[in-house]
Amino acid sequence: MSESSYTVGDMVAEFLSRVGVTTAFGIVSVHNVPMLDAIGRRNAIRYVMARGEMGGAHMADAYARVTGGLGVLFTSTGPGMANSIGGLVEARFAASPVLHITGQTATKFLDRDMGTVHDVPGQTAILAAAGKAGYRVRAASEAFGLLVRAATEALTPPRGPVSIEIPIDIQRMPIARPAGLDTLTLPVPAPLAPSEAALDEVAEILSRAKRPMIWLGNGAREAGEGAMALLGLGFGAVSSWNGRGILAEDHPMTFGALHGNGSPRILSFYEGVDAMVVLGSRLRGHETMDFTLKLPTNLIHVDVDAAADGRTYPNAFFLQGDAQLVAEGLARRLAGRIQVDPGFAADFAETKRLANEEYLATLGPYATFPAQLRAAMPRDALWVRDITISNSTWGNRVLQVYAPRDAVHPVGAAIGPGLPLAIGAAMGAEGRKTVAMVGDGGFAMNMTELWTAVQERAQLCTIVMNDRGYGVIRHIQDAVVDGRRFGHDLMGPDLAKLAAVAGMPFFRVERAEDFGAMVAKALEADGPTLVEVDMIAIGEFPPYAPYSTMGKHAERARM
């Protein structure tokens, strides 16, 4: 390619390859053709055609979560950009490094509200509000530098989605190929080293603990070695829902994601814990029952973000630094100094056993589903969920996860992302199977992405928990408006016929005891499969906390 024919669009395609991107997601449009044409001509990046920009954004998000690298999304400007916002918001909740590259109207029309195709005045502000940052390329000469900045910012902790707009006329402009492409390394800062003095002080506090624990969040995803070193000194562990698998959840000294929300026995156990180190977790309101979950008062909070200090829970000490560096620094200082209660490990293991048994007993006819599914799944399978009632009960909490990038769910608690998240995860799975669980309500929002899964031959088993409506909304309405149900019944397609139209194998579960065997059969297939769980035939799912008790409280108040 001659220098005169090398364009900004070509530079975008080469830039992505140079920073290690091998897969991108999106929808081709009039305002991104030059960039995607360059990707097609270079043939170095797998381009996954989503059926909607929201689906594409969720795919890029999940791909980033399971690979640890950039998830890349291409959209058009205006309506296409707007369709992606839900996915960008979820990526922000999950601190997922997504690079969103979108078109823009020609520069001579920018911000003038002239009604050109797809023009939305204020688009940059919309994108900046939805993600970590938003940038606009205003001249061809600055495109390379802004791409470096945007990708670096997405990958810099706390990570998040960053959008960059490139107007259509700038995409076509000839430029000299940037020499910086030849030696390009994104200037992502090294892990933040904690203060040695602060480590000494925290180690002094912990050296007196007899029943210590760590709480692992998303920011500790790379801290598995340090966490294991602390467990080797006698610590127990627990995980946030977005920090699952940092420690394999079949390890006897981790509660996994059964961290107290919905488990009174775990909360009682915390009363005897005399120190808890929170590694890289927000202690989010959604998981802590809006901060009413009682944690040990001797709380040491570790985060790379100084703004996390005191944001949700008060702490005895805040230590800014990378979770892995902090954990290994503390383990090194505590070796030979900390004397954990000799009975702590046995108490921990018994609490874990009983808490899991008690929690499973609340699931009614679905009590065996976690064990059945875990037995059917390969140990290294990815576990992707939507915010269906089955996930909010057992999917998030008691189905075990074994590795730090094997679990994906909507951290923002939206319904609908499950299927596209699963497709993105499957694209990054490197031959492993992906199992997704969605509700019929959430499935309806993105079911057209089934064709993306088929076109890409995704190794994906999608389980639809079908109760013909919004099950959790029914429970909420029963609890808070005296059982007046409204807007909850949902007419959906015949899933067997839908699977046939999409050209994928279909399986139906009508008895609880058949669940695991049917999923195992689906996982034997090469490519995507669809499994429907008929919840009407199996039985209604019991309400879960707090909706399992709110109605009782209201009834007592009326007596």
* pLDDT tens, residue by residue, 196-230: 999 999 999 999 999 999 999 999 999 999 999 99
pLDDT one-digit tens code per residue, 292-317: 999 999 999 999 999 999 999 999 99
3-state secondary structure of 479: helix
- Please give the Cα distance from 522 to 463 (Å, whole number): 10
Q: Which CATH architecture has domain 196-356?
A: 3-Layer(aba) Sandwich (3.40)
- Other C-beta atoms closer than 10 Å to the C-beta of 250 total 12
- Please give the Cα distance from 545 to 358 (Å, whole number): 13
- End-to-end, the C-alpha distance of the chain in Å comes to 82
Mark out the alpha helices in 98-221 (DSSP H runs). 123-130, 143-155, 168-172, 196-206
Q: Which CATH architecture has domain 368-550?
A: 3-Layer(aba) Sandwich (3.40)
Give the predicted TM-score (pTM) of the model.
Answer: 0.95
Give the Å distances, CA to CA, from 128 to 98, 102, 412.
13, 13, 18
- Please give the Cα distance from 319 to 406 (Å, whole number): 28
> Do 368-550 and 196-356 have the same topology in CATH?
yes
pLDDT of residue 221: 97
Residue showing tokens 């990046």 = 45
Residues paired with residue 101 on neighbouring β-strands, in sequence order = 74, 164
pLDDT one-digit tens code per residue, 494-504: 999 999 999 99
Strands 212-216 and 382-385: unpaired
Q: How far is CA 313 from the centre of its chain?
A: 23
Determine contact, residues 160/91, Cβ cutoff 8 Å. Answer: yes
Split at pLDDT 50, 70, 90, the class of 121 is confident
- Please give the Cα distance from 328 to 326 (Å, whole number): 6
* Helical pair 85-93 and 53-67, crossing angle rounded to 10 deg: 20
Kindly tell me if the per-residue pLDDT of 552 is higher than 90.
no
Q: How far is CA 552 from the centre of its chain?
A: 34
- Please give the Cα distance from 266 to 550 (Å, whole number): 21
pLDDT one-digit tens code per residue, 30-75: 999 999 999 999 999 999 999 999 999 999 999 999 999 999 999 9
Side-chain-facing half-sphere of 345: CA atoms under 13 Å? 11
Decide which of 3.40.50.1580, 3.40.50.720, 3.60.150.10, 3.40.50.970 is the CATH code for 3-183.
3.40.50.970
- Please give the Cα distance from 33 to 1 (Å, whole number): 18
pLDDT one-digit tens code per residue, 411-435: 999 999 999 999 999 999 988 999 9
Q: How far is CA 370 from the centre of its chain?
A: 20
- SS3 per residue for 220-283: HCCCHHHHHHHHHCCCEEEECCCCCCCCCCCCCCECCCCCCCCCHHHHHHHCCCCEEEEECCCC
Considering only CA atoms, which of 463, 473, 529, 540 is closest in space to residue 502? 529
pLDDT one-digit tens code per residue, 68-105: 999 999 999 999 999 999 999 999 999 999 999 999 99
3-state secondary structure of 461: strand
Supply the DSSP symbol for 512. G
Q: Domain segments of the chain: what residues?
A: 3-183, 196-356, 368-550
Give the Å distances, CA to CA, from 306 to 205, 282, 303, 309, 322.
21, 12, 7, 6, 12
Determine contact, residues 299/270, Cβ cutoff 8 Å. Answer: no
Dihedral sign computed on CA atoms, order 95, 99, 103, 108: positive
pLDDT of residue 377: 98
Considering only CA atoms, which of 181, 184, 186 is closest in space to residue 8? 181
Greatest Cα-to-Cα distance within the chain, rounded to the nearest angstrom: 84
Determine contact, residues 257/411, Cβ cutoff 8 Å. Answer: no
Determine contact, residues 87/58, Cβ cutoff 8 Å. Answer: yes
